[in-house]
Amino acid sequence: MDEQQHDVQVRIEDLRSKIDEIDCAIVQLLNERATMALKIRELKPHANLSLYDPKREEQIFANLGACNEGPLFGDNLREIYAAILHVMKEL
């Protein structure tokens, strides 16, 4: 392996390490989000609110679209969050 290939390999390893850190942060945030969702679920019956609120889901998707600066496309983000919301409902 020449010096340039070695430098590229080191850079790839650095970037992968940063991705691993970001993945851990995402997991922490997802768990924090799940905790908030569970608290809301606990409160909804006391306010005579349905557990499922499709308007809120659309509001979430709209908020995500407004804060998305890319490179993810809006449809990609919606697909990711649809999966997240599905899992949150199953908690």
Residues 6+ away with beta carbon under 8 Å from 80: 72
What percent of the chain has pLDDT above 70?
A: 100
d(CA 82, CA 56): 13
Given a contact cutoff of 8 angstroms between Cβ atoms, the answer to whether 85 and 37 are in contact is no
pTM: 0.86
d(CA 84, CA 32): 13
Average pLDDT, the chain: 95
Residues 6+ away with beta carbon under 8 Å from 84: 30, 33
Position 1 pLDDT exceeds 90: no
d(CA 11, CA 24): 20
Position 42 pLDDT exceeds 90: yes
